[in-house]
């Protein structure tokens, strides 16, 4: 904005080109013309309002509440400040995953997430409270929980979600005839009746959802994958396999009530893809396993009967020649525990490794063979019930975790590798994993993290290795009311600052009797008030 002087005394007002002339305090001024801003949208106004609410909430926290937030952020590994976490928690809406099953009998499942989940209320068709839970998160008492998984058979009319700040979120309504409609958006973009966090559905009735389920499994079957095949097929046989694992997963029916197996053969260089299991409802079983074209499983375990400088013998076996060549073998218990080697040759009873053992195995050495089917990526959306993985080797270097398991009730991971993570191997959140054995897990700051009302029998008889070689980090971190059941079929936990850390309100069975190697502290309950079971 500039003053304008005219020796003739003329004064102008209005716009000329890119200039605006006007009078101000007796002076003529000129300013640059600018386009008027568009009026703010309702969404912008709402976002600004939630931002202001978030700032007020963050400023209202006591020193005890702030300390709880700081502790949670550090333990979960979030890269933020307590102030930003509190502010964004108010701005973020609750996420609701909702599924209704009608066959063989009616029931519903509900999953709720909010960073500071405090209270849930569920009302029936008569608007009577049929479920209520309060105090889920209490910063003053020192604990944070952000997820709940619920099941029921009653009719539901509405569900109210409260955050710790007192804000009320989404409502879901269901009428008496079991048709479903939504007063607000929920998530089901592929219209398959499964509501998950990445999808949106508006106004569908259950009858309409059912009509959209065009693909439903009608029989048990095997789907074949071979990345080294010369031509892509339909997955019906080794002669007509899919070329990628995701092609086989995408070929799964939207609703599966049968037993389906996906057999994956090794691929030269590995499969360059991320595995994503979103978009399927599994009421049967789905098993993904490492196999060769001779229909042999590409994984095994046992106890050695002897060994030499570069081999391990097991005279109880009768392996086919070269069966495990290119895979991995590790020892998790007995003489030589904590060692992992590449397999160079396989005969009927002998595994020859590519480099000499540091400690030669003997008849006490318990071993695992795995790692022939390599996935050069991560596995995500592992919220599929009754899923089993056998012999898959996941390797990546760009994500925080190699695998994330969340919200499942019946899932097993066996003979799998989770390697080369940026920070952590595998996270198990709000799930119930059944007994899972013979896995190899690498991590830098954490190998396995188990949290949020999780009941896990994973890992067992596994090798959990710290890859920085600096004795830092935690091998298995059991957080916030998580429950971990281990056995005397020991894990080998090697090279960590803390082998197993059981934090406040976490229960660990047999934590003190695992096989710890070169850990600063083997088993570490959080303190005298900790409920860890040794």
Together in a domain, 115 and 125: yes
Asked if residue 196 has pLDDT above 50, the reply is no
Whether residues 386 and 251 share a domain: the answer is yes
Burial (CB count within 10 angstroms: exposed 0-12, middle 13-18, buried 19+), residue 362: middle
Among the ranges given (289-293, 355-359, 366-370, 415-419), the one the predictor scored with the smallest mean pLDDT: 415-419
Task: Indicate the residue among 393, 426, 451 that finishes a domain.
Answer: 393
Beta strand pairing status for 300-303 and 366-370?
antiparallel
For residue 164, which phi and psi values (nearest 5 degrees)?
-65, -25
> For residue 522, is it within any domain?
yes
Residues 388, 525, single domain; the answer is: no
Domain identity same for 208 and 339: no
- Domain match, 189 and 130 both: yes
Pair 463, 357 in one domain: no
Q: Are residues 240 and 313 in the same domain?
A: no
The verdict on residue 143 lying in a domain is yes
> Do residues 350 and 318 make contact, with C-beta atoms less than 8 angstroms apart?
no
Residues 384 and 243 in one domain: yes
DSSP, res 68: H
Q: Answer yes or no: is 37 within a domain.
A: no
Looking up residue 124, the CATH number of its domain turns out to be 2.60.40
Q: Is residue 486 part of a domain?
A: yes
Residue 400, φ and ψ in degrees, nearest 5: -60, -45
Boundary (domain end) residue, out of 196, 212, 228:
212
Domain-embedded: residue 531: yes
Look at residue 26 and tell me if it is in a domain.
Answer: yes
pLDDT in tens, 405-435: 765 556 788 999 998 887 778 888 766 666 7
For 300-318, what is each residue's pLDDT tens digit?
A: 999 999 999 999 999 999 9
403 and 466 fall within a common domain: yes
Q: How many structural domains does the chain have?
A: 6
Own/partner pairs for 31-39, CB < 8 Å, 24+ apart? 31/1, 31/2
**Is the same domain home to 99 and 177?**
yes
Q: Is 445 a member of any domain?
A: yes
Q: CA-to-CA distance for 302 and 291, rounded, in angstroms?
A: 19
Tell me which of 158, 189, 212 is where a domain ends.
212
**Mean of pLDDT values over 109-119:** 82
User: Cβ(506)–Cβ(483) under 8 Å?
Assistant: yes
> Which residues constitute the domain of residue 25?
2-32
Same domain for 171 and 291, yes or no, is no
Q: Tell me, yes or no, whether 464 lies in a domain.
A: yes
Average pLDDT over residues 58-64: 91
Task: Share the mean pLDDT of the chain.
Answer: 79
Report residue 286 as tokens.
Answer: 């789905």
Q: What is residue 201's predicted lDDT score, i.e. its pLDDT?
A: 36
3-state secondary structure of 494: strand
More confident residue, 124 or 204: 124
**DSSP letter for each residue of 300-314:** EEEE-SEEETTEEE-
Residues 523 and 405 in one domain: yes
Tokens of 222: 């095997």
Rounded CA separation 265/401 (Å): 25
- pLDDT digits 0-9 by tens, 155-188: 677 788 888 888 777 665 553 433 333 322 333 4
Q: What is the pLDDT of residue 385?
A: 73
């Amino acid at each position: 904005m500039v003053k304008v002087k005219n020796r003739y005394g003329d004064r102008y007002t209005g716009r000329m080109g890119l200039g605006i002339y006007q009078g101000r305090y007796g002076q003529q001024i000129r300013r640059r013309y600018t386009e008027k801003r568009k009026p703010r949208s309702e969404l912008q106004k709402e976002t600004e309002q939630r931002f202001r609410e978030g700032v007020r909430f963050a400023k209202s926290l006591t020193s005890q509440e702030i300390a709880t937030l700081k502790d949670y952020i550090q333990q979960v590994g979030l890269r933020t400040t307590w102030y930003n976490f509190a502010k964004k928690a108010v701005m973020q809406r609750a996420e609701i995953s909702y599924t209704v099953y009608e066959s063989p009998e009616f029931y519903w499942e509900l999953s709720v997430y909010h960073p500071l989940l405090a209270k849930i209320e569920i009302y029936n068709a008569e608007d009577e409270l049929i479920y209520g839970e309060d105090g889920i998160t209490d910063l003053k008492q020192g604990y944070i929980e952000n997820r709940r998984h619920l099941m029921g058979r009653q009719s539901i009319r509405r569900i109210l979600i409260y955050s710790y700040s007192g804000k009320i979120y989404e409502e879901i309504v269901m009428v008496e005839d079991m048709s479903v409609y939504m007063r607000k958006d929920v998530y089901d973009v592929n219209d398959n009746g499964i509501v998950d966090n990445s999808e949106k559905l508006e106004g569908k009735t259950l009858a309409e959802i059912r009509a959209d389920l065009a693909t439903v499994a009608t029989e048990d079957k095997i789907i074949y994958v071979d990345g080294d095949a010369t031509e892509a097929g339909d997955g019906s046989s080794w002669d007509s396999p899919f070329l990628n694992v995701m092609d086989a997963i995408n070929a799964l029916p939207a609703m599966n009530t049968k037993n389906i197996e996906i057999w994956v053969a090794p691929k030269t260089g590995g499969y360059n893809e991320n595995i994503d299991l979103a978009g399927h409802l599994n009421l049967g079983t789905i098993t993904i396993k490492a196999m060769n074209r001779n229909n042999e499983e590409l994984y095994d375990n046992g106890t050695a009967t002897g060994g030499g400088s570069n081999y391990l013998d097991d005279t109880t076996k009768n392996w086919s020649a070269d069966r495990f060549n290119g895979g991995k073998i590790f020892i998790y218990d007995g003489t030589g525990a904590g060692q992992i080697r590449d397999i160079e040759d396989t005969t009927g009873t002998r595994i020859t490794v590519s480099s000499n053992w540091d400690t030669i195995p003997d008849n006490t050495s318990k071993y695992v063979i795995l790692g022939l089917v390599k996935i050069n990526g991560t596995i995500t959306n592992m919220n599929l019930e009754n899923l089993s993985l056998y012999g898959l080797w996941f390797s990546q270097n760009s994500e925080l975790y190699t695998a994330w398991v969340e919200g499942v009730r019946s899932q097993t991971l066996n003979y799998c590798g989770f390697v080369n993570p940026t920070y952590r191997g595998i996270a198990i959140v709000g799930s119930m994993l059944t007994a899972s054995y013979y896995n190899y897990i690498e991590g830098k700051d954490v190998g396995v993290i188990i949290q949020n009302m999780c009941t896990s029998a994973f890992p067992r008889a596994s090798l959990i290795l710290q890859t920085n070689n600096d004795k830092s980090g935690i091998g298995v971190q059991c957080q916030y009311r998580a429950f971990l059941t281990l056995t005397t079929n020991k894990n080998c936990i090697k090279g960590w600052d803390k082998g197993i850390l059981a934090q406040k309100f976490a229960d660990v069975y047999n934590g003190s009797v695992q096989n710890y190697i070169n850990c600063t502290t083997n088993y570490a309950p959080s303190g005298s008030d900790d409920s860890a079971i040794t």
